[in-house]
Structure 1
Amino acid sequence: MAKISRKHRSTGRRSPLATVALLAIGLLTTGGAYALATTTATAESQAAAANEQLIEEGKKLFAANCASCHGLNLEGSKEGPALVGVGALAVDFQVGTGRMPMAFQGPQAARKAPQFTQDQIDAMAAYVASSGPGPALPDERFLEATGDAAKGAELFRINCAMCHNVAGAGGALTEGKWAPQLKGLDARYIYGAMVTGPQAMPVFNDLNISPEEKRDIITYLDYVSENPSVGGFDLGSLGPVSEGLFIWIFGLGGLVAITVWLTARSN
């Protein structure tokens, strides 16, 4: 019995290697947690520094190219509106489409080739966005033409076709303004226009038209741009004005020419 008891006590003892293993596991766990926390803090610090640098670069670009109209502190002037709180999306749309800086004062800023690179536009957008909360750039998934084109067509007819034409060909508005054509336009600018409401366009925020519905509209416009008119030559998709003019000039003109030819032949 004594031998059995001693054997039981000897096998129940903790091995010295177990203590070493526990210490090693504890050190590895503590070290790993510290390294992870340090890496995260470093990454956040680097991201914040990069963002500050981007904002500073945007501030310099804004002061050199935009402040004469919009003010050094985005407060606006008689020549241009205040930009506090308009968000990065408004800057991306206006500068990315070349509407800003304006070539000349007029009823509406015309679209032209952009004067800045995308990196410079991003910097100015970051500076303006730092002034206050505003619409940010959308998630890329809402810019892909993968939505419901049929639903997008219905939404476009209800909300947009009265100005832009059902085919997105654009049209004239009052007081010298116009609705631009939308065929072949970059999806980010279509989305930006709906959210920010530039020029005479109303604002369609997410309560009016959800991001998913905006994607449906983008899908419809992409379909219209990529597919030819099923009715043949679309005459610019401008509707009865261009069609009537075509019939008046070529249709009636052709009838007159045939009448003259028949009369001359009979004589």
Structure 2
Amino acid sequence: MARTPKPRKAGRRSPLAAAALIGIGLLLTGGIYAGASAAVAATTDQTSTSTKASTLTVDDGKKLFQANCATCHGLDLQGTANGPSLLGVGELAVHFQVSTGRMPMQANSPQAPQKPVQFTDDEIAALAAYVQSVSPGPTYPESQILDGQGDVAHGAELFRINCAMCHNVAGAGGALTEGKYAPSLHSTTALNMYAAMVTGPQNMPVFNNMNLSPEDKRDIISALLYLQQNDSPGGYDLGGLGPVSEGLFIWIFGIGALIAITVWITAKSN
């Protein structure tokens, strides 16, 4: 006689249900904890940053200047045999030089190279504010000039006319005389593009509002930002360095391939 299985009691759960419920609970608890921790950390970082920014003053900038810059530029910004005067350069020039790591300069050379930045953003702002307070000069532009929403076509035309002879038509940079060079603009910020045009660092000329209006500067910045954000539509751009790199590529790979094919055909015929 076959045994009749006992009917399962109503409401009885599978043995795996408890483990599943525990796992779901752990996942939910861990997710909530992680989210809360991240939010608290972000709030703490913002608070500490705001506190740090609020505590750095012009006096702090003066102390930073005396400790890091006065040896070359003089205690009163008057300059020395090792560094030019900073009277009248303004906070914009300070921001450009320090935020790109060009200053403080490690050693005298034909041109100050870019290197890792030594100061925080707040310290750079304090340094710039101190220099501006001693001898005012070019200052930060309106945010609209840096928004990248200008006339890209017009900006590209202005760049080709005024800048491409040194920086290359694609903004890739180029060599100058006596060991100097025009740097690549592929990673330059909008603010530093404007600062370079207004302050004329290194061998770059100063473009005042008589040469390039604020709207012209906005268009140039917009064109350069467009280049940064859009890859070359023609394929591999070889660094955008023009006929030198392109000719070298053809010479090595193009003619090299022809020679290899010629040798192969000769070998096969023999």
TM tier relative to shorter chain: 0.7 to 0.9
Aligned 8 A contact 2:56 2:122 in 1: no
- Residue type at the aligned position of 1:260: V
Give CA-to-partner distance per residue, 1:223-243, whole Å, 9 cap, x none.
Answer: 111112122111100000000
Structure 1's 58 and 266: CA in aligned 2 closer, same or farther, altered over 3 A?
same
| 1:108 counterpart (107, 111, 118) | 111
| 2:232 counterpart (229, 234, 251) | 229
Partner of 2:149: 146
Q: Is 1:92 aligned with 2:85?
A: no
Q: Is 1:198 aligned with 2:205?
A: no
| 2:255 counterpart (247, 252, 255) | 252
Q: Is 1:178 aligned with 2:181?
A: yes
Structure 2 distance, partners of 1:52, 1:78, is 34
- Residue type at the aligned position of 1:141: Q
Partner of 2:218: 215
Identity in percent: 66
Structural RMSD (CA): 1.5
Q: TM-score, normalised by structure 2?
A: 0.78
Deviation at 1:139, TM superposition (A): 1.4
Partner of 1:25: none
- Residue type at the aligned position of 1:262: I
| 1:118 counterpart (114, 117, 121) | 121
Deviation at 1:184, TM superposition (A): 2.5
Please list every run of 5 or more consecutive structure 2 residues that lacks an aligned counterpart in the other structure: 1-52
Structure 1's 191 and 246: CA in aligned 2 closer, same or farther, altered over 3 A?
same
Structure 2 distance, partners of 1:132, 1:51, is 23
- Residue type at the aligned position of 1:95: V
Please list every run of 5 or more consecutive structure 1 residues that lacks an aligned counterpart in the other structure: 1-49
Partner of 1:57: 60
Structure 1's 145 and 53: CA in aligned 2 closer, same or farther, altered over 3 A?
closer
Structure 2 distance, partners of 1:202, 1:85, is 16
Partner of 1:78: 81
* Higher gyration radius (CA): 1
Deviation at 1:53, TM superposition (A): 6.8
Deviation at 1:71, TM superposition (A): 0.4
Structure 1's 52 and 230: CA in aligned 2 closer, same or farther, altered over 3 A?
closer
Aligned 8 A contact 2:56 2:123 in 1: no
Deviation at 1:133, TM superposition (A): 2.4
Runs of 4+ that moved beyond 2 A: 50-53
Structure 1's 53 and 242: CA in aligned 2 closer, same or farther, altered over 3 A?
closer
Structure 1 distance, partners of 2:266, 2:218, is 60
Give CA-to-partner distance per residue, 1:57-98, whole Å, 9 cap, x none.
Answer: 110000000000000110100100000111000000000110
Secondary structure of 1:130's aligned partner: helix
Give CA-to-partner distance per residue, 1:33-68, whole Å, 9 cap, x none.
Answer: xxxxxxxxxxxxxxxxx9997211110000000000
Structure 1 distance, partners of 2:116, 2:199, is 20
Give CA-to-partner distance per residue, 1:167-209, whole Å, 9 cap, x none.
Answer: 0000000000000000131111111001000001000112211
Structure 2 distance, partners of 1:92, 1:210, is 22
- Residue type at the aligned position of 1:263: T
Deviates more, 1:206-215 or 1:61-70: 206-215
- Residue type at the aligned position of 2:245: S
Give CA-to-partner distance per residue, 1:81-137, whole Å, 9 cap, x none.
Answer: 000111000000000110000122100000112100011011110110012221001
Q: Is 1:160 aligned with 2:163?
A: yes
Deviates more, 1:237-246 or 1:222-231: 222-231
Deviates more, 1:201-210 or 1:166-175: 201-210
